[in-house]
Amino acid sequence: MIRFFSIACFLGISIFQNTYAQQQFSAGPSWLKQATFYQLYPQSFKDSDGDGVGDLNGIVQKLDYLQNLGITAIWMNPIFESPFFDAGYDVADYYKIAPRYGNESNLRKLIEEAHKRNIKLVLDLVAGHTSDQHPWFKASAQKKKNEFTDRYIWTKSKSILPEKFVAGNFERNGNYLKNFFDCQPALNFGYVNPNPKNKWEQSISSPGAVAMRQELKKIIAYWMDMGVDGFRVDMASSLIKNDADFAATMQLWAEMRNWFQDKYPQGVLIAEWSNPAQSINAGFMIDFMMHFNVPGFPSMFFNKGGVFTRDTCFFSTDANGSADEFIKNYTDQLESTKGKGYVSVATANHDISRLNCGSRNTDEQLKVALAFLLTIKGIPFIYYGDEIGMRYLPDLPGKEGSILTNFGNVNRAGTRTPMQWDASANAGFSTADADKLYLPVDPNETFPNVAAEQSNPSSLFNFTKNLLALRKTTAGLGNEADIEFLNPADKSYPLVYIRSSGTEKYLVVINPSGKQESIVLNNFHSTTFTPLLVDKVVCKKDGNGIKIIADKTTYGIFKLN
Ligand code: GLC
């Protein structure tokens, strides 16, 4: 079968329909049904040795905190050997932990301690490229043929410089294809329909491309055998080139999933693809609705501050945004992945702004956004610090490739600042001198911190914790329960949806607006609305329907009968 597909891809036959009609992937291991992920930026979470950079032992110290919050899985950004020109997404050794984070015995300890607390640990796999400092790349840049000659994609001469190729001072007579920054040469997984005129295009069944697939399995197995619980795969859709409909890339991942599932039935594969309809049908168990490929996320969250900006968004007290684009794409994605995996809408990640950004900066506003994110279908992903309302810090200098020159010089550093544990020096993140910190802590003296938030019953932290607990104990609000949005096209505020599982039904009302908003829903037959977590939202029977009145910047979760 696999052989047929690779031959078909090689011949350029579109096998998308056939392939994926035949591959019936399950939604992954059963622990995902109740999973809540926490994305943790290792360099900024907790520094245990006072060098100003977070580390694995620091994470161990904070596992109780995560358990208390209700987290069941952690995804850590890359922790591997790297020159850190892209904060670790430029790997120089897939089999070695960067000394600044610790070593293998620290990782084993983290795995053990996390598992003791029923928390899974997921690593980041940078599958499409390495650092240009990687020994494979250095070998590949040699004139003399060697094992790594075809591990990257090279022109046959320095005089040829196609788009996205990078010239350099190499012994080899060629230029290489980059995958992201110049310092990130693309690994060679081959091209669909290689053009014989473009000598750098090798087929996906060429020895170099086949060797690369094998290496990927080897890397995955190395860390899975050590006890980690899976991988988030960076730029997962980028592997095979000239793959316009992604059919060959999907096939590659389908093959990987089959292998992975047999060997590690409890393991999880998460895509950074941002198109669940493709990635989940290719065998990934989770993918995000984020800022690229599938539209929707920006129209909900991106405002005038932060990394990528927009003039209007739904989560704004100005109430001039719309949830329509999001709902359309999100429901389409859910439909095409039903029963096969999870569509996740994260609170943020290390590439975009945090929820607390620009004019969205009060606990009230953040509670409404979290009420939405933690009551929709899919697996919640909380970006570290969003549970206490850490803000995107504007105007920081660039750090380790945080500035994206190819996207208008936006700066991701503001989302990557040290976790704010308490009100002591460096927010309790590190004992290093402030000028040694990975990034500065929020200079605002009243920044939110974990210690203060934990002791305040009405804090964002406790709100998040209560919401996660409610989600976990309420099947109708859980990761797999259905979702139905009820707003008519021309009415965005408040946003209203039903979650349901079996006979259980819940009504959720989300009003980010800075003023009171109401909506009438006809043909709504429930008669009782039991408030579960409600802040100034009222539902009343209204003829054969209901009228919902939501005070400014409020939310409501009701059980229906
Ligand atoms: C992904 C990562 C981003 C990184 C890029 C290149 O998008 O999330 O941080 O810079 O890939 O690896």
Pair 525, 444 in one domain: no
Q: What confidence score (pLDDT) does residue 549 get?
A: 98
Look up residue 324 and give its two tokens.
Answer: 């329509």
Give 4's pLDDT tier (boundaries 50, 70, 90): very low
Ligand 1: nearest atom to the Cα of 180: 6
- The sign one gets for the Cα dihedral 64, 69, 71, 75 is negative
- Domain-embedded: residue 48: yes
Q: Which amino acid is at 157?
A: S
Average pLDDT over residues 470-489: 96
Average pLDDT over residues 441-455: 97
Contact 415, 384 (CB under 8 A): no
Q: What confidence score (pLDDT) does residue 16 get?
A: 40
Pair 433, 526 in one domain: no
Cα of 136 vs centre of ligand 1, distance in Å, is: 20
> Look-up: residue for tokens 């359309």?
328
| Residues 229-288 pLDDT 10s | 999 999 999 999 999 999 999 999 999 999 999 999 999 999 999 999 999 999 999 999
Q: Which of the listed residues 44, 132, 180 should we mutate to test ligand 1's pocket, taking the one with most ligand atoms within 8 A of CB?
A: 180
Cα of 77 vs centre of ligand 1, distance in Å, is: 10
- Domain-embedded: residue 342: yes
- Domain-embedded: residue 122: yes
Contact 526, 560 (CB under 8 A): yes
Q: How many residues does the chain have?
A: 561
Give 527's pLDDT tier (boundaries 50, 70, 90): confident
Compute the distance between CA of residue 296 and CA of residue 217 in angstroms, rounded to an integer: 33
User: Number of structural domains, the chain?
Assistant: 2
- Domain-embedded: residue 139: no
In 170-306, which ranges are continuous DSSP H helix?
Answer: 207-226, 247-263, 276-279, 297-301
| Residues 295-337 pLDDT 10s | 999 999 999 999 999 999 999 999 999 999 999 999 999 999 9
Final residue in a domain of this structure, among 425, 447, 471: 471
For β-strands 504-511 and 517-521, DSSP reports them as unpaired
Q: Is residue 126 within 6 Å of ligand 1 at its C-beta?
A: yes
- pLDDT at 383 exceeding the cut of 80: yes
Q: What confidence score (pLDDT) does residue 2 get?
A: 33
**Average pLDDT for the chain:** 95
302: containing domain: 7-131+207-471
Look up residue 41 and give its two tokens.
Answer: 């930026």
- pLDDT at 14 exceeding the cut of 80: no
Atom 9 of ligand 1, nearest CA residue: 351
- Domain-embedded: residue 227: yes
- pLDDT at 544 exceeding the cut of 60: yes
Average pLDDT over residues 388-414: 96
| Residues 50-100 pLDDT 10s | 999 999 999 999 999 999 999 999 999 999 999 999 999 999 999 999 999
Compute the distance between CA of residue 28 and CA of residue 142 in angstroms, rounded to an integer: 42
Average pLDDT over residues 157-184: 98
- pLDDT at 21 exceeding the cut of 70: no
Final residue in a domain of this structure, among 415, 440, 471: 471
Look up residue 140 and give its two tokens.
Answer: 């590949």
Q: What confidence score (pLDDT) does residue 134 get?
A: 98
345 CB-near residues (< 8 Å, 6+ apart): 288, 289, 297, 330, 373, 376, 378, 381
Q: What confidence score (pLDDT) does residue 24 get?
A: 86
- Domain-embedded: residue 533: yes
- Domain-embedded: residue 422: yes
Pair 217, 123 in one domain: yes
- Domain-embedded: residue 137: no
Contact 482, 503 (CB under 8 A): no
Pair 424, 554 in one domain: no
* Nearest C-alpha neighbor of 355 from the set 388, 330, 389, 379: 389
Q: Is residue 90 within 6 Å of ligand 1 at its C-beta?
A: no
Cα of 270 vs centre of ligand 1, distance in Å, is: 14
Pair 465, 487 in one domain: no
* Nearest C-alpha neighbor of 419 from the set 399, 437, 395: 437
* Nearest C-alpha neighbor of 462 from the set 322, 367, 362: 367
Cis omega before residue 78 (within 30°)?
no
Final residue in a domain of this structure, among 408, 439, 471: 471
Compute the distance between CA of residue 147 and CA of residue 413 in angstroms, rounded to an integer: 38
Q: Is residue 351 within 6 Å of ligand 1 at its C-beta?
A: yes
The CATH number of the domain where 223 resides is what? Answer: 3.20.20.80
Pair 116, 221 in one domain: yes
Contact 59, 111 (CB under 8 A): no
Cα of 246 vs centre of ligand 1, distance in Å, is: 19
Q: What confidence score (pLDDT) does residue 489 get?
A: 85
Look up residue 233 and give its two tokens.
Answer: 């795969």
Compute the distance between CA of residue 48 and CA of residue 30 in angstroms, rounded to an integer: 34
- Give percent helix, percent strand, percent coil of the chain, each to the nearest 5: 30, 20, 50
Q: Is residue 71 within 6 Å of ligand 1 at its C-beta?
A: no
Pair 361, 440 in one domain: yes
Pair 330, 405 in one domain: yes
Compute the distance between CA of residue 90 and CA of residue 187 in angstroms, rounded to an integer: 12
Pair 442, 532 in one domain: no
Q: Is residue 181 within 6 Å of ligand 1 at its C-beta?
A: no
Cα of 231 vs centre of ligand 1, distance in Å, is: 14
Pair 218, 252 in one domain: yes
Give 23's pLDDT tier (boundaries 50, 70, 90): confident
Cα of 234 vs centre of ligand 1, distance in Å, is: 6
Which of 43-57, 87-101, 201-215, 520-534 is predicted least confidently?
A: 520-534
Look up residue 273 and give its two tokens.
Answer: 């693809």
Q: Is residue 350 within 6 Å of ligand 1 at its C-beta?
A: yes
The CATH number of the domain where 532 resides is what? Answer: 2.60.40.1180
Pair 507, 369 in one domain: no
Task: Say how many C-beta atoms besides its own lie within 10 A of residue 1's C-beta.
Answer: 10
Phi and psi torsions of 517, nearest 5°: -130, 145
- Environment class of 288 (CB within 10 Å of its CB; exposed 0-12, middle 13-18, buried 19+): buried
- pLDDT at 15 exceeding the cut of 50: no
Q: What confidence score (pLDDT) does residue 292 get?
A: 92
Pair 495, 381 in one domain: no
